[in-house]
Amino acid sequence: MFWNEKMETLKGQELKDLQLKRLKATIKQTQNIGFYKQMFKEAGITPDDIKTLDDITKIPFTKKSDLRGGYPFGFLAVPMNQINRIHTTSGTTGKPTVVAYTKNDLAAWTELLARNFTMVGLKAGDIFQNAANYSLFTGGLGIHMGAEAIGCAVVPSGVGNTKRQIEMIQDFGVTALHCTPSYAMHLTEVAEEMNADLSSLKVGCFGAEAWSDNTRRDLENRLGVKAYDSYGMSELFGPGVAFECQEQNGLHIWHDSYLVEIIDPKTGETLEAGEKGELVVTPLVKEAMPLLRYRTGDITMLMEDECPCGRGPKLARFFGRSDDMLTIRGINVFPSQIEHVLKNIPDVGDQFMVYIDRINHLDEMTIEVEMSKSVFSGELADLSRLQAKIMKALQETLTIRARVELKEPGSLPRFEGKAKRVIDRRTV
């Protein structure tokens, strides 16, 4: 099913012509922003120097720190009387990033989300429970708009109050659920403890953090849904930038609305399709806050194969963020790799925590792992074998040794929003 078949399947020269037209309009719009006027001046270029799509590499990157430096409204390209909504990021590592929207921005964002939900088979008559934060976080209202646009009955449940969430799924006959994958796992645990019947659920839309194929299989088996990966970022509108189709093999990024590059995060060199690197995005339809070559910090790659669904190019499922990547004794490790290993071991529970310490000038990784309820009360020798099995599996995948501590079920933290599973206690 398509929401906007012409745009969703646009390819070849017709797509390139549209991208270039929109890129030139975006560059013109950025010249209303002092930061970009100064950037072009320092780079020795003018908007007229961007004559082809390849010319975009003449433009320097935009970084999150640049946006924070413009707090609160230094990156607005329109007067405040044209702004219809303001969101911000959490600001947990400094000043928050402010993102603003015109009426046209909100319409464009809604269109992209409507494409996503239609692509996975949702339609009028579906009951859509949105268990995302509805405050300044873009995930609540953004997802809500798209689900309403296609005719779903939206339940704005927000985060937390998990037992009530489960009751609503049962009482309302909810068919689609949106939340983070870590919260979906927690909700699943609680539902199993309640012996709750969630058989009305058919579709799960999970995003805002990297999650593994093993987690997908676990959620699908235990919730009875088809689980789809979702990607977005507040600076790029919010959720809905890219989404899986029913093939579940890569995320379609809407190339009529975003120009994408993959770069080496260390050198900034552009990488080819099939090479893993950092995603750089230039939004092509933003009015209030246009951006050029925005470094997302997210690690993925452009996929080379065409999708049977007929839509355009895809991004591989995200490996994590460049700032989430752990470098331990010279080896790069992503939390999603650890999750993937643990999900392959039946006697392991759903939760884990990673701690990094520097001991005697060497990096040491400790992974706390919940046991499944079936093995928690087992013999000490069995637990020792399980511990050794986990350590061996981790070393084979990560190529480094990690200490594993087994924890009783329910003892590790649960997360209603984005999971924070890594605590780096190393000092510089």
User: Which tens digits make up the pLDDT trace of 209-257?
Assistant: 878 888 899 999 999 999 999 999 999 999 999 999 999 999 999 999 9
Neighbours of 310 (CB within 10 A): 12
pLDDT at residue 381 in the model: 65
The chain-wide mean pLDDT, for the chain, equals: 92
pLDDT at residue 328 in the model: 81
Tokens matching residue 43: 């780079």
Task: Tell me which residues of the chain have a pLDDT lower than 50.
Answer: 92-93
β-strand partners of 278: 263, 299
pLDDT at residue 319 in the model: 80
CATH number at residue 27: 3.40.50.12780
27, containing H or E segment: helix 12-30
CA distance 229 to 120: 11
- Pairing assessment for the beta strands 258-263 and 203-207 based on DSSP bridges: unpaired
pLDDT at residue 401 in the model: 87
Give the end-to-end CA distance of the chain in Å, rounded to a whole number: 52
CA distance 112 to 127: 19
- Tokens 């050794």 appear where? 388
pLDDT at residue 113 in the model: 98
Q: Are 110 and 149 in contact (CB under 8 A)?
A: yes
For 165-225, give the secondary structure using H, E and C.
HHHHHHHHCCCEEEECHHHHHHHHHHHHHHCCCCCCCCEEEEECCCCCHHHHHHHHHHHCC
In a shared domain, residues 291 and 409: no
In a shared domain, residues 304 and 415: no
Angle at 202 between CA 201 and CA 206, to 5 degrees: 90
Among the listed residues 330, 328, 336, the one whose alpha carbon sits nearest the alpha carbon of residue 403:
328
In a shared domain, residues 248 and 187: yes
Give the DSSP letter of residue 263: E
282, containing H or E segment: strand 277-283
- Dmax (CA) for the chain in angstroms is 73
CA distance 272 to 262: 7
Domain count within the chain: 2
Tokens matching residue 339: 């999750």
Neighbours of 90 (CB within 10 A): 13
In a shared domain, residues 179 and 77: yes
Last residue of a domain, one of 272, 306, 321: 321
In a shared domain, residues 244 and 379: no
340, containing H or E segment: helix 335-343
Residue 79 has phi, psi (to 5 degrees) of -65, 155
In a shared domain, residues 345 and 263: no
In a shared domain, residues 346 and 227: no
- Tell me the torsion sign for CA atoms 393, 398, 399, 402: negative
CATH number at residue 382: 3.30.300.30
In a shared domain, residues 305 and 358: no
Among the listed residues 139, 170, 174, the one whose alpha carbon sits nearest the alpha carbon of residue 155:
174
CA distance 113 to 402: 41
pLDDT at residue 323 in the model: 64
Last residue of a domain, one of 321, 338, 366: 321
- Pairing assessment for the beta strands 422-424 and 348-359 based on DSSP bridges: parallel
Angle between the N-to-C axes of helices 181-194 and 162-172, in degrees from 0 to 180, rounded to the nearest 10: 80
Among the listed residues 67, 109, 363, the one whose alpha carbon sits nearest the alpha carbon of residue 238:
109
In a shared domain, residues 308 and 236: yes
Residue range(s) defining the domain that contains residue 363: 326-424
pLDDT at residue 93 in the model: 46
In a shared domain, residues 271 and 410: no
Q: Are 367 and 405 in contact (CB under 8 A)?
A: yes
pLDDT at residue 92 in the model: 45
In a shared domain, residues 128 and 95: yes
Last residue of a domain, one of 290, 321, 352: 321
In a shared domain, residues 281 and 377: no
pLDDT at residue 400 in the model: 83
How many helices (H) and strands (E) the chain has is answered by: 12, 20
β-strand partners of 356: 365, 424
Among the listed residues 276, 412, 251, 281, the one whose alpha carbon sits nearest the alpha carbon of residue 342:
412
pLDDT at residue 89 in the model: 80
- Tokens 């209030």 appear where? 288
CA distance 192 to 124: 29
* pLDDT tens string 331-382: 778 787 888 889 889 889 888 999 999 887 678 899 999 998 877 766 666 8
